[in-house]
Amino acid sequence: MSPMQILMQMMSGGNPQAMLQNAMQRNPQLQAILNQQKQSGMSMEQYVRQVAKQQNVDIEPMLNMLRQRGIK
């Protein structure tokens, strides 16, 4: 399941926890990323912002879209 598919399901009222579990089963790299986030001591938002900045990815348009739809 792609990140966009996960977001679309969340916006349509899907269960985020179940989607995350499903994604981790399908993609072992996701578990490694979540472990790195936990070890960093940062919140998920802080971690995503830091990684996006390091990779020169502008995530503000995505964040604005999520905020407009009431997803925090």
pLDDT along the chain (72 residues), means of 10: 65 69 82 89 88 90 82 67
Read off the pTM: 0.61
Number of domains making up the chain: 1
The CA-based angle 35-37-41, given to 5 degrees, is 115
Parent domain of 11: 3-68
CA distance 37 to 39: 5
Identify whether the C-beta of residue 20 lies closer than 8 Å to the C-beta of residue 2. no
